[in-house]
C-alpha cells in the first residue's frame, strides 16, 4: 500500500500516519518529496481496510498494490490452469466450444440439437434443467427429468455436459448428471453456495455477475478455490451498463485483463451478452481473438418456438458458420479448437 500525503500535511500529521501504520503491523518506508511525502507500507494484512488510513488528517491518497485474491491470482500459478473434463481440455492452447439450448425442453429437442452441435464440432452440450427466470411465471426448467435427458443426449453424441446448479440444496443432484457445474450470473455472490461448491470434485464455471467488477468476480472464484476445489472456470456473459441497444454489454476487455490477473481459464458467452441472434457470431469471433479459452453459445433447431431465449439462439447452420470462423481466428493466434 502506498500513502501519499497532502501538500500541506504537517510533520506531526505524517508522524501520526506512520504510527498508525506501525500499529497495524506494516513496515513503513518514507520518501519525502518537495510537495508530498510518500509512505510505502509493506506487509500483508488481509483484514486491513485501507479506508482507515484514508481518513487520517494529512492523507491525500491511498493506493492498494497487492490483490486481495491469492489462489485465483496469476502470481499463484504462473502457467494457466488446464482442466481435463473427461478428455476435453479447458484452458491451455485449445479453444473449447460449448453449445446447446438455453433450456432442455423435451427429448426430441435436446437430441436434435445435441446431434447438430456435435457434428459441427462442439465438445460440450449446454442446457438448463433448472432455469433462473426473472419471472416466476416463466418456464422454470424440467428439473431432474431435464438433467437425465441432457446426460443421455450428450452421451449419444460424445459430448460432455454443462448445466446450471441454482442452489446449494441441488448440488448433489446436479453433480450426478453433469461434467461441469455452472453458476449463474445471479448467484455470483451467493457466498454460502460458493463455499459448498468448494467441496465439489466437479469443475465449476462461474459466470460474472451482471454488476460485478473483475475484482469481485475473482474474489468469488477465491471462495470456491479456498474451499478446496481447484477447478474454477470463469465466464464473461456481459454486464449491465447504461447501453440499452444490446441485452448486456459484452466486456471483451475483461478477457485480456483476466489473462493478466489470473491463471483460471475464461470462457465467453456471447448469447447472453448481446442477446440477439444476428450479433452472436461477431461477438464470438471477437472473444476468441481477445484470448478466450472457449465459447458457450445457445443453439436451437426451432428458436421461434423455444421456451426461453429463442431470439438469441443460433440456428444450427449459423452455429456451423461460427465454428468455421472461430477456427480460423484461433489458428491465426496460434491456438486450435479442442
From 297, 285, 299, select the one nearest 331 (Cα to Cα): 285
242 touches 218 (CB < 8 A): no
CB 301 within 8 A of CB 113: yes
Least distance from C-beta 254 to ligand PEP, angstroms? 14
Position 272 contacts ligand PEP (CB under 6 A): yes
Range in contact with Mn ion (rule: CB under 5 A) among 2-10, 166-174, 309-317, 326-334: 309-317
Residue 237 near which of ligand PEP, Mn ion, none (CB within 5-8 Å, type-dependent): ligand PEP
Question: Binding of ligand PEP at residue 270 (CB under 6 A)?
Answer: no
Q: Which of 101, 128, 198, 316 binds ligand PEP (CB under 6 A)?
A: 128
8 Å CB contact between 62 and 50: yes
* Nearest CB to ligand PEP, comparing residues 76 and 139: 139
Q: Which residues contact 287 (CB under 8 A, 6 or more apart)?
A: 236, 250, 252, 255, 268, 270, 295
Q: Is 292 in the site for ligand PEP (CB under 6 A)?
A: no
Interface size with ligand PEP, residues (CB under 6 A): 9
Please give the residue whose beta carbon sits closest to ligand PEP in the complex: 184
Residue 288: which H helix or E strand, with range?
helix 280-290
Strand partners, 41: 28
Residues 6+ apart with CB under 8 A from 175: 165, 181, 200, 202
Distance in Å, CB of 138 to ligand PEP, minimum = 12
Strands 2-5 and 27-32: unpaired
Task: Report the partner that residue 90 touches, choosing among Mn ion, ligand PEP, none (CB closer than 5 to 8 A by kind).
Answer: none
Cα separation, 315 vs 321, whole angstroms: 10
Pick between residue 56 and residue 102 the one whose CB is nearest to ligand PEP.
102
Q: How far apart are CA 253 and CA 3, in angstroms?
A: 29
Contact 299, 119 (CB under 8 A): no
**Least distance (Å) from ligand PEP to the CB of residue 100?**
10
Of the candidate residues 105, 179, 196, 309, the single one contacting Mn ion (CB under 5 A)? 309
Question: To which residue does cell 491518497 refer?
Answer: 61
**Count of alpha carbons within 13 angstroms of residue 162, beta-carbon side:** 31
**Choices 30-38, 149-157, 217-225, 302-310 (CB under 5 A): range interacting with Mn ion:** 302-310
> Would you say 185 or 250 has its CB closer to ligand PEP?
185
**Residue whose CB is less far from ligand PEP, 126 or 261:** 126
Rg (CA), the chain: 23
Near Mn ion in 79-138, by CB under 5 A: 102
Shortest spacing between CB 75 and ligand PEP, in angstroms: 28
Q: According to CB under 6 A, which residues from 156 to 215 bind ligand PEP? A: 164, 184-185, 207
As beta bridge partners, residue 90 has 83
In the list Mn ion, ligand PEP, none, the entry touching 198 (Cβ below 5 to 8 angstroms by class) is none
Q: Which of 102, 161, 219, 268 binds ligand PEP (CB under 6 A)?
A: 102
3-state SS class at 325: helix
Q: Which does 310 bind (CB under 5 to 8 A by kind): Mn ion, ligand PEP, none?
A: none
Min CB(271)–Mn ion separation in Å: 7
- Taking each continuous run of H as one helix and of E as one strand, the counts in the chain are 11, 15
Site residues for ligand PEP per CB under 6 A: 102, 128, 132, 164, 184-185, 207, 237, 272
Amino acid at each position: 500500500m502506498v500513502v501519499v500525503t497532502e501538500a500541506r500535511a504537517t510533520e506531526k500529521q505524517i508522524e501520526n500516519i506512520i504510527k498508525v501504520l506501525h500499529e497495524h503491523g506494516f513496515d513503513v518506508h518514507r520518501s519525502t518529496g518537495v510537495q508530498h511525502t510518500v509512505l510505502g507500507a509493506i506487509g500483508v494484512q488481509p483484514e486491513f481496510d485501507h479506508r482507515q488510513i484514508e481518513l487520517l488528517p494529512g492523507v491525500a491518497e491511498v493506493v492498494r498494490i497487492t490483490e486481495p485474491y491469492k489462489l485465483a491470482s496469476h502470481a499463484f500459478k504462473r502457467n494457466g490452469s488446464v482442466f481435463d473434463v473427461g478428455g476435453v481440455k479447458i484452458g491451455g492452447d485449445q479453444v473449447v466450444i460449448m453449445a446447446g439450448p438455453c433450456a432442455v425442453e423435451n427429448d426430441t429437442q435436446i437430441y436434435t440439437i445435441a446431434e447438430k452441435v456435435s457434428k459441427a464440432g462442439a465438445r460440450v452440450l449446454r442446457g438448463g434443467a433448472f432455469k433462473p427466470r426473472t419471472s416466476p411465471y416463466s418456464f422454470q426448467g424440467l428439473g431432474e427429468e431435464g438433467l437425465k435427458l441432457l446426460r443421455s443426449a450428450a452421451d449419444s453424441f460424445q459430448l460432455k455436459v454443462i448445466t446450471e446448479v441454482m442452489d446449494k440444496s441441488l448440488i448433489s443432484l446436479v453433480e450426478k448428471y453433469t461434467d461441469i457445474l455452472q453458476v449463474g450470473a445471479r448467484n455470483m455472490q451467493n457466498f454460502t453456495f460458493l463455499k459448498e461448491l468448494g467441496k465439489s470434485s466437479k469443475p465449476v464455471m462461474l459466470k460474472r455477475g451482471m454488476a460485478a467488477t473483475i475484482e469481485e468476480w475473482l474474489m468469488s472464484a477465491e471462495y470456491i478455490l479456498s474451499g478446496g476445489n481447484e477447478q474454477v472456470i470463469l465466464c464473461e456473459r456481459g454486464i449491465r451498463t447504461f447501453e440499452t441497444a444490446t441485452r448486456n454489454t459484452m466486456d471483451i476487455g475483461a478477457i485480456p485483463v483476466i489473462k493478466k490477473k489470473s491463471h483460471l481459464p475464461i470462457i465467453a458467452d456471447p448469447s447472453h451478452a448481446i442477446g440477439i441472434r444476428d450479433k452472436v457470431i461477431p461477438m464470438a469471433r471477437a472473444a476468441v481473438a481477445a484470448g478466450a479459452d472457449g465459447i458457450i453459445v445457445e443453439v436451437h433447431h426451432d428458436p421461434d418456438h423455444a421456451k426461453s431465449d429463442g431470439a438469441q439462439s443460433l440456428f444450427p447452420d449459423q452455429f456451423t458458420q461460427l465454428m468455421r470462423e472461430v477456427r480460423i481466428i484461433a489458428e491465426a493466434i496460434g491456438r486450435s479448437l479442442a
